[in-house]
A and B are shown apart, each in its own frame.
Chain A
């Protein structure tokens, strides 16, 4: 299994508070992704990164920001959490050594976030 660790695994917080989720990988993969999983929607891409300090927005990026200061860490921040951001968040990585190489993504075990 790919070495991906998400933390925390579970979190309950209140509306309006800032929240940061961490994804740590030991595979030295170049590409990292944050998805959210909601019933009826599958997984939807929030943000992705194709290298240190190189990030871009995905399909549902409003209300989220990311940072990647090291290859191994990709942080997702909810600046002011809202109840609509209650979800399960997954981090994924892919090799990306060759652009367009179609390497499949490997997923972490997820963070269950509840915003009351």
Chain B
């Protein structure tokens, strides 16, 4: 079945450091891919998405490129801030009912 694998956390960084969170997937067909972010005590918010191979999603300085050849959708940000501390989830959508398959999540902690 479909699955998403994310790097384990927590990932601890200093402010202004470069962030990469790896995400790989297994799916039949051509899924759409998403990154969601969850701040403490809140629900998930859509961060960015890509719907086909080679698409690049971007938002708030974060980017991810849909790589079909490596079945990956790694999240990157060039210079993190303390406010980026959160849990990040990679997810894929493969069916017409809008059901999402999530990775386990990666906690990111950014220190001043």
Q: Which A residues are within 8 Å of any B CB, using their own CB?
A: 4, 31, 33, 40-45, 48, 50, 56, 58, 90, 92, 94, 96, 99-100, 102-110
Q: Does B32 contact A (CB under 8 A)?
A: yes
Contact of A107 among B44, B51, B93, B104 (CB under 8 A): B44
Contact A45/B105 with A102-B32, A102-B51, A107-B45 known, Cβ cut-off 8 Å: no
Pairs across A and B, CB under 8 Å, 27 listed:
A4-B43, A31-B98, A42-B4, A42-B103, A42-B105, A43-B44, A44-B102, A45-B99, A45-B100, A48-B98, A48-B99, A56-B97, A58-B99, A90-B43, A92-B44, A94-B98, A96-B98, A102-B32, A102-B51, A104-B49, A105-B100, A106-B46, A107-B36, A107-B45, A108-B43, A109-B41, A110-B42
How many B residues, CB 8 Å from partner? 23
**Given A41-B104, A42-B105, A109-B41, A33-B46 contact (CB < 8 Å):** no
Q: Which residues of B contact A58 (CB under 8 A)?
A: 99
Is B34 in the interface zone, CB < 8 Å from A?
Answer: yes
Asked if A109 contacts B97 (CB within 8 A), the reply is no
Q: Which residues of B contact A (CB under 8 A)?
A: 4, 32, 34, 36, 41-46, 49, 51, 89, 93, 96-100, 102-105
Additional A-B contacts beyond A31-B98, A102-B32, A102-B98 (12; CB < 8 A): A42-B89, A42-B102, A43-B102, A45-B100, A99-B97, A100-B96, A102-B51, A105-B98, A106-B46, A107-B36, A109-B42, A110-B42
